[in-house]
Amino acid sequence: MIGVIYDEAFLEHKPPRHHVENPSRVLSIIKALSQEDIPMERPVENIDEWLFRVHDPSYVRWIDTTCEGGYAFIDADTYVSPGTCRAARLAVGAVVKGVDKVLSGEWNAAYAVVRPPGHHAGRVGRALMAPTQGFCIFNNVAVGAVYALGRGVDRVAILDVDVHHGNGTQEIFYSDPRVLYVSLHQDPVTIYPGTGYVEEVGEGAGEGFNVNIPLPPLTGDDVYQEALDRIVWPIIKEFKPQLILVSLGFDAHELETIANLRLSLNTYAEIFRKLRDLVGVVKGVVFVLEGGYNFEVLSRGSKLLIDVFSGKDVDVGEVATDTDPRVRSRANSVMRDVIRVHRQYWHIE
């Protein structure tokens, strides 16, 4: 069974002026899911103990003070408002609730429909020299992983399918072998945050547990699914996680205007089916909303997730996209690079 975790407090994180990351994103999702027969729960409150295991106290204090001050941009992309601190804490609390539901066996999957998003937030905010925090305040998925480790889980895999590299998540777990971070994203030369190269493999005990697959702009469903099949699923299966967290960004979709991959919802459906089939091998999967700014894609993609995990026949209703041959040859060379670098850690070829 899959359940949703949501709170109206997420609507109170409000931009001072027009912004792509706005409350209508989660409203469109919740509206689409309201006709589904699924449990909906509220986040866990009081998650500060876990928040401080990921974020530096001085960063959290700075965010709290800034929220109290009213509406403000903390960098060129990222804003806070009076409701941000509660929303951002409940976004973390939604992931914690999802982890609880899955570890207790009550649900086998959870979908945390949250904002602000999180995967660009590092220990002290900006991560890996990124120019901004990319709309993120606290790293929701990272706190969820740390919480699961604290609850006795030994190995957590984080699969990041947002079109942007999760530089915050990478930074937080870079030397931690208990957390496998796998990200497919648009080539960092061409998009924010400018990190996520193949050679970033982790360090110390964490070496080999950070896997980046930077795909060229205009990559379509065919190439993306090949990368999943040749690299992502084999590594995740070999890692044998007890829990999978998914940084679920819908901004790799071809209708997205702030990025340049060309996925259709067919790829998202395929990801959902593959993860559903892993339930049993893993205790469960917690999906955490990250980016995605097209309301139609957000709502239809979210409904697809619920339908796949509810075992319904799904009709994606979109034509799968093919990658142009010139783009494909560049993507092939990226996949060869990833395999060359990571075959010393994993059985991939």
Residues near Zn ion, by CB under 5 A: 162, 164, 249, 251, 291
* Contact of 67 with 84, CB cutoff 8 Å: yes
Q: Specify the DSSP class assigned to residue 209.
A: -
Q: Name the residue nearer to Zn ion (CB basis): 167 or 225.
A: 167
User: Least CB distance from residue 118 to Zn ion, whole Å?
Assistant: 11
CA pair distance 94, 332, nearest whole angstrom: 38
Chain position whose Cβ is nearest to Zn ion: 291
Q: Name the residue nearer to Zn ion (CB basis): 119 or 283.
A: 119
Give the list of residues 6+ apart from residue 37 with CB closer than 8 angstroms, or none. none
CA pair distance 126, 248, nearest whole angstrom: 20
User: Least CB distance from residue 302 to Zn ion, whole Å?
Assistant: 16
CB atoms within 10 A of CB 266: 20
Q: Any idea of the CA torsion for 97, 284, 30, 76, to the nearest 10 degrees? A: 70
Q: Name the residue nearer to Zn ion (CB basis): 191 or 211.
A: 191
Q: Name the residue nearer to Zn ion (CB basis): 77 or 307.
A: 77
User: Least CB distance from residue 125 to Zn ion, whole Å?
Assistant: 17
Query: What's the CA angle centered on 191, arms 188 and 197, to 5 degrees?
Result: 10
User: Least CB distance from residue 192 to Zn ion, whole Å?
Assistant: 8
Q: Name the residue nearer to Zn ion (CB basis): 78 or 108.
A: 78
In the set 120, 164, 165, 185, the catalytic residue is 120
Indicate if 165 belongs to the active site: no
User: Least CB distance from residue 216 to Zn ion, whole Å?
Assistant: 17
Strand 284-289 to 109-112 pairing: parallel
CA pair distance 143, 47, nearest whole angstrom: 9
User: Least CB distance from residue 163 to Zn ion, whole Å?
Assistant: 5
- The b-or-e profile of 223-245 (16+ CB within 10 A means b, else e) is bbbebbebbbbbbbeebebbbbb
Q: Coil, helix or strand for 271?
A: helix
Q: Coil, helix or strand for 287?
A: strand
Q: Name the residue nearer to Zn ion (CB basis): 7 or 160.
A: 160
Strand 156-160 to 125-126 pairing: unpaired
Give the list of residues 6+ apart from residue 141 with CB closer than 8 angstroms, or none. 95, 118, 119, 158, 160, 166, 169, 245, 247, 288, 290
Residues annotated as catalytic are: 120
